[in-house]
Amino acid sequence: MIKSIEKEISLDRRAFIKKVLGGTIAGSLLLVIPAGAMELEHIPEQIPGMRKEIGPFITGKKFAFIVDITRCIGCGSCCVADKNEYQVPDGNYRTWVERYVIDDKDNVYVDSPNGGLDGYQKPRKDLPYPVRDTFFVPKLCNMCEHPSCVQVCPVGATFQTDDGFVLIDDKRCVGCGYCVQACPYSVRFINPKTHTADKCTWCYHRVRKGLLPACVNVCPVQARKFGDLNDHESEVYKILHQPHVVSVLKPDMGNKPSLHYVGLRREVV
């Protein structure tokens, strides 16, 4: 009996030493073998087929962005991811989350402390009447089909690519600010570091590498959706082609945004 226990212990000891040794060797190997977290082959493609696109533009895809304001919880993950991705200077926002509060008398109050970057921890206390409803509206570049910002740029620094993205060439931009004024959605700002115009690009560099925009990737409740409208199986196609409360911001401006909102409400501007 005792012998068998002793045997067990010695076996255990052997297993223990083996494990410790194995762990140490594996651990030290980890230090030698490069960790490949940022190499693309270790990150699975989130948008299928994008890594095969090597031409100057994406072919055969028409991207759309959908924000579902019935799902948004106002956590601000998207804002944090965006700031991290682009190292946006404090006080400027490529994307932000607005809080809409409607009181009993149907007055509408909108606020966005620090662009929603710190989340919304406290309810508004400065309102005279009881609150009837509250909801969050994330904002970002509308990626218009007829962008007014491109039209007004005097130096050809902002442009629409053949795949439908509106981008900024910060080497050409002279920082005149015409585009900042022309944008009906106020998504543009003059970056205080580069002194050039800056705005959300729907993470064009990530999309071209087959990754979702940073904000879509981090949203914990899938309030932000990004996909290809030419793919009839994609979630965005289904949302836009099936009965849903879907709208765009300021449709009367005629910019034809590619950013759609699910559950958009009359109060939202």
Which residues contribute to the site for another protein (CB under 8 A)?
30, 34-39, 42-44, 46, 56-57, 70-71, 73-77, 80-81, 84-87, 99, 118-123, 131, 134-136, 156-162, 167, 169, 171-172, 201, 204-206, 208-209, 211-212, 214, 217-218, 220-222
**Shortest Å, Cβ 218 to another protein:** 4
Task: State the DSSP string of 94-105.
Answer: SSEEEEEEEETT
166 or 249, CB closer to another protein?
A: 166
Quote the CA–CA distance of 102 and 34 in Å, as a whole number. 53
Residue 75 CA from chain centroid, whole number:
13
19 or 250, CB closer to another protein?
A: 19
**Shortest Å, Cβ 167 to another protein:** 5
Task: State the DSSP string of 197-213.
Answer: EE---S-HHHHHTT---
169 or 267, CB closer to another protein?
A: 169
| Longest distance between any two alpha carbons in the chain, whole Å | 92
3-class SS at 117?
coil
Beta bridge mates, 189: 198
**Residue 189 is encoded by which pair of tokens?**
């700002």
Quote the CA–CA distance of 72 and 78 in Å, as a whole number. 11
**Shortest Å, Cβ 52 to another protein:** 14
**Shortest Å, Cβ 64 to another protein:** 20
2 or 174, CB closer to another protein?
A: 174
**Shortest Å, Cβ 153 to another protein:** 9
Quote the CA–CA distance of 258 and 142 in Å, as a whole number. 6
16 or 57, CB closer to another protein?
A: 57
